[in-house]
Copies of this chain bind each other. A is one copy, B any other.
Amino acid sequence: METSQNAALSAFLRRLLIRSALTLEEQQAILSLTGEREPVPARIDVVSPGETVDTSCLVSKGLVARYDQMLDGQRQVTSYYIPGDMCDLHSVVVPKASWSITAVSQSSVVRIPHRQLRTLCLDYPSIALAFWRDGTVDASIFAKWVGNLGRKNAKARIAHIICEMGTRMEAAGLGPRMSFEFNVTQEQLSDASGLTPVHVNRTLQDIRGDGLLTFSKGHVEVKNWDALVSVAEFDPAYLMLASPPHRVVATGRGLEAVHVR
C-alpha cells in the first residue's frame, strides 16, 4: 500500500502548507514519514478513552469523528476528520486520550509512530510549530462548535455543519463545496448536532423545503450556498484557510513571524 500511504502524506502536507510555510527539506521530511495503513470499518473505534497510544492516525480515506460518550450512551461528536487530517496529532504531546475516535463510514487510517513525529519536531522547530498551529485550528473548530450547540437552533446547527464540511472538503481538494460526499446517516448527524435522529430528519426536510440543499445517501447537494451560509451564520475565518501561511524565521534583528506566499 505504498502509494496510498504517500497519497495520504501528500494530503497531510498540503493541509499543513495551507497555514504553515515549510522549506523543501522540511516538506521532504514529512513525506518520508512511514506508518501502517489500516482499513477501519464503519462505526469501529480507532482510539478509545483512557487508551495511551504511540502512534498518530492520519486519515487516508473515509470520514472519522472524535466524540464523547455520556453515561447513558448518548454520543456527542466534537469534530470530523477528512482525508489528509491527522485526527490525533496532539497525541504526540498528550498520548493518553480521554475521548473516542471512530470511523463514521468505511475508512482507512495510517498509523504514524510518535517516535518519528517527535524526531521531526526536534530536528525541525518549524515543523513543531506547524503541528502546534494545526492543533490550534482543531481547537478553533471545537470552540466554534461550542457556539453552535450553545446558541443556535436545529436548522442553523445542521446548516453550519454542512457549511464547514463543504468548505473543508473543497480546501482539501475533495470536491466542490456545492456537491460533496458526507457519508453520515441521519442518526450520526444527530450525534454531531446535539439533536435526536427524529428531529434531524424533520430539520433536514425543513432545510430542503427552503431550497437550501438536499442530502441523501451520504451526498450533499447545496442548492443555495449564500442562503445556507446566512442560515448557519457561517464565517469561515475560524478554519484559518484564508491568511497566507506563517513561518517563524531568524532575521537580522531577531525572530519574526512572516507571511510567505
* A209 is an interface residue with CB less than 8 A from chain B: no
Contact with B along A129-140 (1 / 0, CB 8 A): 101110111111
Complex contact B68–A122 (CB within 8 A): no
B248 touches A76 (CB 8 A): no
Q: In the bound complex, do residue B248 and residue A121 qualify as a contact, i.e. CB atoms below 8 Å apart?
A: yes
Q: Are B142 and A68 in contact (CB under 8 A)?
A: no
- Map CB proximity to B onto A66-85 as digits: 1 under 8 Å, 0 otherwise: 10101100111011000000
Q: Is the CB of A147 within 8 A of B233?
A: no
B147 near A251 with CB under 8 A, answer no
- Do B144 and A68 touch (CB < 8 A)? yes
Q: Which of B138, B145, B235, B248 has a CB less than 8 Å from the CB of A146?
A: B145
Specify how many copies of this chain sit in the oligomer: 2
Q: Which of B90, B121, B143, B254 is close to A142, meaning CB atoms less than 8 Å apart?
A: B143
A14 to B256, CA, bound (A): 28
Q: Are the CB atoms of A96 and B257 closer together than 8 Å?
A: no
In the complex formed, the residue of B with least CB distance to A193 is B150
Chain B: CB-nearest residue to A248 = B118
| Interface pair B122/A79, CB less than 8 Å apart | no
Interface membership of A1, Cβ < 8 A: no
Question: What residues of B have a CB within 8 angstroms of the CB of A138 in the complex?
Answer: 139
- Given A70-B151, A93-B246, A248-B121: A99 and B255 within 8 A (CB)? no
Hey, which chain B residues are within 8 Å of A76, CB to CB? 146-147, 150-151
Instruction: Give chain B residues whose Cβ lies under 8 Å from the Cβ of A147.
Output: 68, 70, 76, 78
Please tell me if A218 contacts chain B, counting CB pairs below 8 Å.
no
B-side contacts of A78, CB under 8 Å: 142-143, 146-147
* Across-interface contacts of A145 in B (CB, < 8 A): 142, 146
Least CB distance, A238 to chain B, in whole angstroms: 5
Q: A76-B147, A135-B135, A142-B143 are in contact. Are A115 and B70 (CB under 8 A)?
A: no
Is there contact, CB below 8 Å, between A257 and B66? no
Q: Which of A70, A146, A243 has the most CB of B within 10 A?
A: A146
Interface residues of A (CB under 8 A from B): 19, 49-50, 66, 68, 70-71, 74-76, 78-79, 90, 93-96, 98-99, 114-115, 118-119, 121-122, 125, 128-129, 131-133, 135-140, 142-147, 149-152, 193-194, 233, 235, 237-238, 240, 243, 246, 248, 250-251, 254-257
The 4 closest A-B pairs by CB, nearest first: A150-B194, A142-B142, A139-B139, A68-B147
